[in-house]
Structure 1
Amino acid sequence: MTFMKPEQFRSWAERAQPGEDVVYAEGVRPGDAIGATVRGLHDAGLVAMTSKRVDGRLRFIAQRLPDPRPSQLRARVCEVPRRGQFQLGANDGAMTTRAVLRILQQAAARGLPCPTNEELAKRIGLNGKEAASYRVRRLVQLGKISVEEPSPLERRVVTILASGKQTQRAML
């Protein structure tokens, strides 16, 4: 039996384009650690799981899906009641920051207004708007984005420095 490490799988899921797939385990069934990681990303709507029999062995395959739209995230939250608490792992800070960047890139590419800190926190599952604010400030420090705050009554305008695209100016 061969298994992919959970860290390797998370790394693949972060950089994979929609439609790409990977064999994360071969054998009778996936290991507990990799199985839990894949199920978590499947529940989040980021990967689809399947299996295929090859030479008498099962290959467990994950395919990267497009990022879920906000309406899909809201629908999924309504379907599944929250049980227990979720704690981020040690390396998930960088993953969360990349998730914020991805949301901001999508808003800029589509010409949408920048999401508020509260909206970012809800979409990613952060504890509150302060955590989202920290991630945005971190992206500025990393040189990924620049932020313009026109007035207290308007949403901020974010420029993605790699592409030069900006979120649309809008009222709060």
Structure 2
Amino acid sequence: MIFPSKLRATLAALAIVGAFGTGTADAADSSLYDLQPCPDSLAAQGGAEPSRKWDLSLSPYTFHWSGPSPEHKPVRLVSLDRQLPGGRFCGLALFSNSFGQPSAYGYVGQQWNNIFGNPKLFSKVSAGLIYGYKGKHKDAIAFNSSGVAPAIIPSLGYTFSPQESAQVFMLGTAGLTFAYVRSF
């Protein structure tokens, strides 16, 4: 997939900003943990260190509230979240939007565990910027300016094991995205 130059520039800027974060990994950790794409300033003070460091999400399907449309293309998403103390996280999602346009979502968020007293249920809310809705589809997302728009995305998840879970992301008036999540 070839990304437009503005998207490449946005991704490069996120990578450069993230490279200046300082990791807290010890020598026993993989070198992957040495890179911290989220600034330490996002970490909660005095919070316990999360048992997992990263979440990799893969989404093969998005359900649209408006039903099938000839304009809609399959939405494919991959995202990587960095887990921080205090249930906080940040990350980057790369996806093809509902109109087949290459898109990205850079975000920060908060996770709450033990929803409704069930230790396997959790909820998340992320907030950030989405890039990619352009041309005749620029109005498909609110507050879009030059292909960049703010977004708040809540989700509900279910943990199958310490390494595997599933999540459903609510995309406002557009629909739901279903994802498999692998933690490591």
- Asked if TM exceeds 0.5, the reply is no
Smaller-chain TM-score bracket: under 0.3
TM-score by length of 2: 0.26
More strand by percentage: 2
Q: Which has the higher contact order (CA 8 A, sep 6+)?
A: 2
